[in-house]
Amino acid sequence: MAEAACNDPTDLEETKPLTMMSLTEEARDGSSTSKHGLVEFENRFKDPEEKTPVSATVRKFFKKKTSDCGVKSTLLGLFPISSTLRKYDVKEDLPNDLIAGLTAGVMMIPQGMAFAALSTLPPIVGLYISFFASATYALLGTGRQVSWGCIAVLSIMMGQILDKYDASVEDDNAVICQNGTVVTAITNTAANDTADDKSSDPSDPVTSRRMEVASGVTLVAALVVILASRLGLSRVASLLSNSLITGFTVGIAFHVGSSQLKEILGVSVARQSGIGAIVKTWIEILKKLPDTNVATLITSAICILAIYLVKRFINEKYKKRLRVPIPIDLVVAIIATLVTEYARLHKDYDVRVVKDVPVGLPAPKIPDLGLSSSYIGDGLIIAVVAYTQTLALTKTFGLEHNYPVDPGQEMLASGVVNVVCAIFSGYIAAGSVSRSMVQNGAGGRTQIASLVAAIMVLMVILFAGPYFYYLPKCVLSAIIMVSLRSMMLKLLTIPDMWRRSPLDCTVWVFTCAAVVILNPDLGLLASVVLSLLIVVLRTMVNPVTEAGQIDIGDSISVEIRSLRGYSAAKTTRHAKIIKIKTPIFYVNSEAFVNGVYEKTGVNPLEIRKAKKKMEEKSAKEKSSQGSYKKTNDDLGAGNGNIEEDKSLKSSNGTKLEFSGHEAKCRVIVLDAAQMAFVDLMGVQAIQMVIKEMKTVGVEVLISSLPENVIPLLKSTGFWEKHGEILFLSVDAALASLVATEQQRQAESVN
């Protein structure tokens, strides 16, 4: 142990008199250092490390995995519904699940068709997704109240992919004439009809290929998700915070609302994509305002008003009294269909309708992956968003109803669900927030409710398709517009969010703005980059802080707290406690070194510069007057008897002040309790601080090192070289100073 250069041990005792008094008593018998040194502790209590060959480790891993692969354990793990059924109470649970399932199923029908239209695919695709996603998730998912199916956010993102495909097809069909004029083989229908007006018949060749693109993207993304779940990568959702997801969904809401205005007005507008798509869409809509279809606008207004009034003033206001909310979406869809058919709105007033809706389930088919190979990256982004939203929803209900949620199983379920959807002509699905809330509010207790909802949708697919021929598309848009209300209301939470957490609010606003200004995938990518940048900046800005000790009233309890915000924290003149607040790694290693210099007021480089400057000045004065002398030792520690010029300026203008006979700091204790991890550059930075401080007579002690950083310290040689300055706690480090000083004084007396 290096000798501590502490002039007066009572300075340390002033910091926390009660605790330091007991530590001083321990120090008298020389036991404090051995008891509280980290190296001694590890040698006494750390179990010896087993050096197992890699081959043996691999065999052990696979043996453990295969031993858990019994039929019963596999079924219970792969199909969580099996555990639910074993405890299922038919009398108590079944009535609630039936009511909740029927309620969710009623919502699925119009919402599924409406959200599928957002993707520019036939409305029947939404019903396919609603059935297969709900049925599959009920078997594999751990969320008992989560309702799976078509989601507006995912649908609009899938629509972006299909827009790229449409653009590539048009480019491929362009031919060059002899005069150099580009002629497109396929007529550009965007000028007259929107992409949403393409055939709603899945058997149409163009529509069929577009469905294969969506299914192909979904299949590959789902297989990647399944593989990730088996590799234990379910924590990938941690990259997307709640603030990011919320801002993303609100930004998507602007895209969704803008895309539906043309149907509300009954005008033909080319579907826009790329950066500034919303602005382009609004410009086109404003140009087409004179062409508004009055019958379509009136129908839209009536439907929006009816749906809003019932949801806002009946379903929401009396939700505690209503066991089942009024299925106003389905009621409005049925009434509008009947009115359109018998009032001849489609034929006489040109109100657009859904037209042919196929009857029956689609045949299973592996999509042509060649069509979708260029859009796999986009599909993976959608799959991550789907999994993240579903996991957050599942965890919410798990906490509410006190049942476990397995993120790995949820990721597996998400992958398998989307594989099934892809094989049966669908695209990426996820848990719906609105329908899940309704299913939960209606009393749903288990996954059986989702099965009931799936059966109800199946009945519509098998038998009710032809009855939706005259369903106006503007009614589907009205359903979508009202469903956006809850997301738009989140804009009002921005001021409160800013007061609670400015950084989270920044991520929220940036994500929403990026999604609106750019497009969903670029906006999401930019937001993830910002979130990671904020995490990095948090480690770079003030990685250390000066701390003191607070005596909380008994002889052994002393807390270490930063001086900022804790006026009761006490410090000493010669020993400073520096709390490390972040991991020390390559990103902030330099900031860590500079932070220690700043908080302690000791910058070895500046001191050496000042020393050199003063030596040069002294040499000049000696040669001219021969009366000014100063020793190198006093200058090196800043401990000289300086009668003149007590402060000197360094080359960069920084003042270096010397307080008469006393140095500002002689001992630094680095409290590493909050240092989550350290890398090689971090170890080098700590070593640099120790080495540089030693050159100016300042001793560095390190306390409270987390267990997980010890192996790296051992492998780098830090442990062996600096083991004597490592302590279990700040108290132990300070006690060692007292013991060392008492030993030095005793030796000087003798």
- Give residue-wise pLDDT tens across range 322-359: 777 888 888 999 999 999 999 999 999 999 998 878 88
Q: Identify whether 101 is part of a domain.
A: no
Contact 414, 142 (CB under 8 A): no
Does the pLDDT value for residue 198 go beyond 60? no
Compute CA distances 615 → 399, 623, 650, whole Å: 69, 12, 14
8-state DSSP, 584? B
**Residue 293 — very low, low, confident or very high, per pLDDT cuts 50/70/90?**
very high
Spatial distance between the Cα atoms of 147 and 105, rounded to a whole number of angstroms:
9
Task: Decide if pLDDT at 64 tops 90.
Answer: no
Whether the predicted pLDDT of 128 surpasses 70: yes
Q: For 565-594, what is each residue's pLDDT tens digit?
A: 788 888 776 788 999 998 999 888 999 999
Residue 266 near residue 239 (C-beta atoms within 8 A): no
What percent of the chain clears pLDDT 70, i.e. is strictly above it?
A: 81
- Residue where a domain stops, chosen among 535, 557, 575: 535
Judge whether residue 636 has pLDDT over 60. Answer: no
Residues 506 and 553 in one domain: no
Q: Which helix (H) or strand (E) holds 702?
A: strand 699-703
User: CA–CA separation, 195 vs 161, rounded Å?
Assistant: 13
Q: 143-163, pLDDT tens digit by residue?
A: 998 999 998 889 988 988 998
Within a domain: residue 393?
yes
pLDDT at 491: 92
Q: 739 and 656 in one domain?
A: no
pLDDT of residue 74: 59
* pLDDT digits 0-9 by tens, 31-59: 444 556 888 787 777 777 666 676 666 67
Model confidence at 556: pLDDT above 90: no
What is the CATH number for 716?
3.30.750.24
Cα gap 147→455, rounded to integer Å: 13
Q: Is residue 287 part of a domain?
A: yes
For residues 266 and 351, the answer to whether their CB atoms sit within 8 Å is yes
Helix (H, G, I), strand (E, B) or coil at 553: coil
What pLDDT was estimated at residue 625?
61
Beta bridge partners of 727: 37, 703
Per residue in 359-399, pLDDT (tens digit) is 889 999 999 888 888 899 889 989 988 998 898 889 888 88
Do 122 and 22 fall into the same domain?
no
Tell which of 616, 636, 663 closes a domain.
Answer: 663
Are residue 257 and residue 345 in the same domain, yes or no? yes
Structure tokens at 376: 């796999």
601 Cβ contact list (under 8 Å, min separation 6): 664, 665
Average pLDDT, the chain: 80
Q: Per DSSP, what are the bridge partners of residue 678?
A: 584
Give residue 633's pLDDT band: very low, low, confident or very high (50, 70, 90): very low
Taking 70 as the threshold, does the pLDDT of residue 8 lie above it? no
Confidence of residue 197 (pLDDT cuts 50, 70, 90): very low
649 and 591 fall within a common domain: no
What pLDDT, on the 0 to 100 scale, is given for residue 464? Answer: 87
pLDDT in tens, 490-523: 899 999 999 998 989 999 999 999 989 988 878 8
Whole domain around residue 636: which residue ranges? 603-663
**Could you tell me if residue 68 is inside a domain?**
no
Alpha carbon distances (Å) from 744 to 307, 731, 741: 85, 20, 5
pLDDT in tens, 300-311: 999 999 999 998
Q: Mean pLDDT check: name the lowest of 202-206, 250-254, 600-604, 659-663.
A: 659-663
Q: What integer is the mean pLDDT of 465-489?
A: 88
The torsion region of residue 23 among left (phi > 0), alpha (psi -120 to 50) and beta comes to alpha
Domain contains 239 = yes
Given this model, what pLDDT does residue 218 score?
Answer: 95
Whether 420 and 560 map to the same domain: the answer is no
Q: Which pLDDT score, from 0 to 100, does residue 57 have?
A: 67
Give the residue from 490, 214, 199 showing the smallest Cα distance to 378.
Answer: 214
Contacts of 410 (CB under 8 A, 6+ apart): 141, 142, 143, 234, 387, 390, 391, 394
* Least confident stretch, 33-42, 88-97, 189-198, 351-360: 189-198
| Predicted pLDDT at 173 | 59
Residue range 479-497: average pLDDT?
89
Cβ distance 131 to 461 under 8 Å? yes
Note whether 634 and 725 are same-domain residues: no
When pLDDT is cut at 50, 70 and 90, the band that residue 10 belongs to is very low
Residues with Cβ within 8 Å of residue 24, at least 6 apart in sequence: 9, 13, 735, 738, 742
pLDDT at 643: 36
Q: What are the structure tokens assigned to 240, written together? A: 């997307």
What is the percent of the chain where pLDDT is above 90? 30
Q: What letter does residue 49 receive in the DSSP assignment? A: P
- Judge if 414 and 559 occupy the same domain: no
Residues 523-553 pLDDT 10s = 888 998 998 888 888 888 888 888 888 877 6
pLDDT > 70? residue 72:
no
Q: Among 646, 663, 680, identify where a domain stops.
A: 663
- Do both 623 and 508 map to the same domain? no
What is the number of alpha carbons within 13 Å of residue 310 lying toward its C-beta?
18
Same domain as 645, residue 723: no
Answer yes or no: is 681 within a domain: yes
Residues 227 and 327 in one domain: yes
In angstroms, the Cα distances linking 560 to 19, 552, 582, 609 are 13, 11, 16, 34
Size of the chain, expressed as the number of residues it contains: 750
> According to the model, what pLDDT value does residue 684 have?
93
pLDDT band for position 190 (cuts 50, 70, 90): very low
Do 648 and 735 lie in one domain? The reply is no
Q: Which amino acid is at 106?
A: V
Greatest CA separation for the chain: 117
Ramachandran bin of 670, using left for φ above 0, alpha for ψ from -120 to 50, beta for the remaining angles: beta
Separation CA 163–CA 160 (nearest Å):
5
- Provide the domain count of the chain: 3
Does pLDDT of 595 surpass 80? yes
If we measure between CA atoms, which residue out of 214, 25, 41, 269 comes closest to residue 726? 41
Q: Is residue 87 part of a domain?
A: no
Q: What's the CA gap between 91 and 106, in Å, rounded?
A: 24
182 occurs within a structural domain = no
Secondary structure element (H or E) that encloses residue 696, with its range: none
